[in-house]
Chain A
Amino acid sequence: MDSRTMWEKVKDITRGHSLWMLYYCTGCGAIELPPTMTSRFDMERFGIGPMATPRQADILLVTGYLSTKTLRRVIYTYEQMQSPKWLVGFGSCTLNGGIYHDSYATINQLDQYLPVDLYLAGCMPRPEVIIKGFKQLMEMIKTGEADGWKQYQDNREWYRKNQKKALGDLLYTTR
């Protein structure tokens, strides 16, 4: 049952039509983003565009494997973004570790540490998949389904516990 008021629905539809993204190019998956943004697949026709800083962005793309060192930066980046915000995991590496599943230096499941709204499967996901995924994310935003940022606020304890487990005391240092 949809409990949103009319005004909130208007807001959600507006949000769903304009996504500014910040891509955190950790892994190889990022290489499929340039063709998605430029003339061949033209992401801008849906109102999706790159932005320069976390403050301005609405969606954070984590493109590929995350070593524990970069996980800390991703957490900072995500927390600097202004809600409502969404996080998209790219490729099997964020989903279950992918080909790095037994590495000592990477994390396997991104959603243990940050709330992921959408996963794009594939190693690496092709531009077609990226566009399809984004269309789906836009639908989810319009219907108010994508609420990872709320989950993150509500289950902060649980996320913090997992983050601490992976990073130890390093979580709050700036080294």
Chain B
Amino acid sequence: MALIGKIVLFIVGAFVFQVALSGFSRKVIARIQKRRGPVFWQNFYDIGKLFFKKTSISHGFIFDFGVWMAFGGTVATLLFVPVGPYSVFPGQTNFIVIIYLLAIGSLGMAMSAVGSANPFASIGISRALTQMFGYDVPFALTVVIMIYVHRTSQVAKLAAVQSDIGWHLWVMPLSALVAFIALMAMLGKKPFDTPIAPAEIASGPLVEYSGKYLGMLMVQHEFATFVEVGLFVNLFLGGGSTLLIYLVKYIIVYLLTVIISALMARFRVEQTVAFFWKWPLVLVFIQALIIIGIGIR
């Protein structure tokens, strides 16, 4: 019973926090563009409105199932990410598990979007998966270095060791830079927003979703954001000894991605992949050589 209570509290807390924050980030973007922007609870209205639609069209079983798979997969991932000193299953925060479960979200969405048989959705999905090829290799390598050095793949432990040796941001700065760029691509922020690209392929995978389906995918995206930014905070900024410190770090990282994305234009998808396999990959290899060569003091 206590476990279920904990899970529900965790999910609701993550939802409220992340949706409010992404509403606030709209305000930040608006200020950058010299506008006023919506109120910070605007995203609650948007999601509520979508769930209150009277009709939402379905395009068959695969379409429905994929949405649930994406949603379920992402919520499951959420439970394995340590938030400050808290985690739902203490000692069960393996990085490999998180990455595997996170992929279920993307794959469910791919399946569902292809089920809608809209060509724009297929283009969007193929772009999203191509882009994933690009950023996953450098990002995984940054974490492999860490796992190699500390001989553990528990995210909570990787976060905890940083109180002894200093943040990984300082210990392995090149890795941190690469991981941050990869984070922007994971979140689909500009310049890496080819999969969505509203003006180009009519919002890509989301093209056929309406009402409740779109609402669920929006919530799913918020949860995925919570996981991905959370990973960065845990791996490079030392997690948090209290919840408040963790959330402050989280807000700073998230707003940084938002601000950078507000100033950028969009890469084409092959440019994205070429970029990731050129600069970040080289940087992460240099970092690996440094770490293996001189170790961490």
Binding site for B on A (CB under 8 A): 11, 14-15, 17-18, 20, 38-39, 42, 44-47, 50-53, 55-56, 58, 81-84
Partner pick for B198 among A38, A52, A81, CB 8 A cutoff: A52
Closest 10 CB pairs of A and B: A55-B210, A52-B203, A42-B35, A18-B45, A52-B202, A17-B45, A18-B49, A14-B48, A82-B210, A52-B198
Partner pick for A46 among B38, B52, B207, CB 8 A cutoff: B38
Instruction: Give bound CA distance, A39 to B35, whole Å.
Output: 5
B202 partner residues in chain A, CB cutoff 8 A: 52-53
B198 partner residues in chain A, CB cutoff 8 A: 50-52
Contact at B35–A82, with CB atoms within 8 Å?
no
Interface of chain A: mostly helix, strand, loop or mixed: loop
B259 partner residues in chain A, CB cutoff 8 A: none
With CB as the reference atom, state the residue of chain B lying closest to A45: B36
Interface residues on B, range: 20 to 34
Contact at A42–B36, with CB atoms within 8 Å?
yes
B297 partner residues in chain A, CB cutoff 8 A: none
Partner pick for A44 among B26, B49, B53, B209, CB 8 A cutoff: B26
9 contacts between A and B (CB under 8 A): A14-B48, A17-B49, A18-B45, A18-B46, A38-B35, A44-B35, A55-B207, A82-B54, A83-B53
B23 to chain A, nearest CB (A): 10
With CB as the reference atom, state the residue of chain A lying closest to B208: A55
Instruction: Give bound CA distance, A83 to B207, whole Å.
Output: 17
Instruction: Give bound CA distance, A27 to B264, whole Å.
Output: 32
With CB as the reference atom, state the residue of chain A lying closest to B41: A17
Given A14-B48, A42-B30, A52-B198: A47 in contact with B210 (beta carbons within 8 A): no
With CB as the reference atom, state the residue of chain A lying closest to B206: A56
With CB as the reference atom, state the residue of chain A lying closest to B47: A18
Q: Is B56 part of the contact surface with A, judged by Cβ < 8 Å? A: yes
Q: Is B163 part of the contact surface with A, judged by Cβ < 8 Å? A: no
Known: A39-B35, A45-B37. 5 other contacts (CB 8 A): A15-B52, A17-B45, A18-B46, A51-B203, A56-B206
Q: Is B211 part of the contact surface with A, judged by Cβ < 8 Å? A: yes
Contact at A84–B53, with CB atoms within 8 Å?
yes
